[in-house]
Chain A
């Protein structure tokens, strides 16, 4: 029996990530406390409010636990999850995890009335690169550092990036019925690390 993939369940749209993994037949489990990480094969940080995530991660001890977990295991973050995993956030003093070298800007497109849906191009999906990008009060990736590579674009902007074991995107694949990004994370990160 394959190990379960963890989904950070402190707040946010974690149930929609669970739905995507369920559709793919990938076993999964919510992570609310450090001990929930035991025997998981990786961790997805969902959409939600990054300030709430960081606040509760500090109080539950998950912050240090995830930092240790990330030395060996893969992580994926969508929107707020990206903010939590990034090294630098423009104009904000947030104690993020710094697990992927990039600078991001929160709510970069504006407020909710500027949220939108538009096609993005995902490079690893060579033959059919178009993916429905749902951007909700979305952040922007301003610059990539170190070994971080761009994997997806909205027009000319980078909206998806990776390093050795971390995959992040500024949009929400879990809000669509398209499970290709979850499958990509599972096959190219979880099953290979």
Chain B
């Protein structure tokens, strides 16, 4: 087993990985940018190293600096988390050359699944259902027009290097195709440095169902059942759950076996997720492989009892999987809500700044994976995810009730977050029914606003604000704002000089 692991990430996922390291007796090495000196992952880790300026390109994406740091500190392996370098085949290849273990799939498999068109060709050859559409990038607009006619409108434009909804566009009629192709290809070039796009049949209002897979370096593969991630905003998941309301035991078995086959034909190892679209007729299609630890991995952990990060580390160290497919079961129901620093009432505008007060919900069956604390700064440079709230209960109904209560108890003051929006999503009758499709947010939550509070609530809030105005603030300094809230020995000590007599 490794003695030291470098965690090439920040925020909640870095904290999650540090916890796993600590439990396994492995020294954790955090890396951080100049904007993250005070971040939680730096506080939690056993060791920490500065790797550059705030912009991700200068720090968390800086391969040279990260590899140098791993060597300098003697880290034998690197966990990339999600985002940043997690699915970068070049990074995986360089680590292979440097003799550092990449805690993730091998570089060839990463390359294959990262190229959507090549992955489609490989899957089709292996008899795995794919969404009807192009298997090559076209050379001319006419070729796209002909392909779209053959597929039948509506069609979906996708980026070959794709992911995260970038470059994706739905086209309903031929006259809209040309401008959409141009825009899609421009967006793809900006996001991935590769303008290749292709067309697929647009599956209308599908469910997004994905399977968690683990594959060791010795050819053993298991799946850990599904996660339903249909609740999405601009193709980004915001609520995930397991089990899916749409699967029968038979369909679950069939999709699970297909997911394992996808992993096998890709020569894939370590943890991965096979994404499928499920249409109204319960036909499923391979979408893509997410070659990383997923944001939503905790719902699988809570229902299967398997620690996925620990499994990833063990697999990367060359250990054999001890999990057996027949022994794996799903127990109860788990839901995750992603807490973002965004203003849901104002077009989800990013909301950076200082978190003045933070108190996470607690209680039976409530898990909070976070990267924030009272007084921390949320920088403008990175993804707006702050934390994930995950609940487990015996049934879906009780899990929904538990999630609603937990969201209602969740306090983050100082910046806007998606908490009030998520509460309304969880409480929506269609969500409670399990009628979740990828169109859910668009159909039910366009132009969402928080409901008005009660007059009594406002009166009490004003009264507390008034009391606070009267309260003598510490050190009699009323205008210093948040600084007076936290006792800081440095501020007090600041009046002295070293060597001076008290």
A and B: interacting chains: no
Binding site for B on A (CB under 8 A): none
Binding site for A on B (CB under 8 A): none
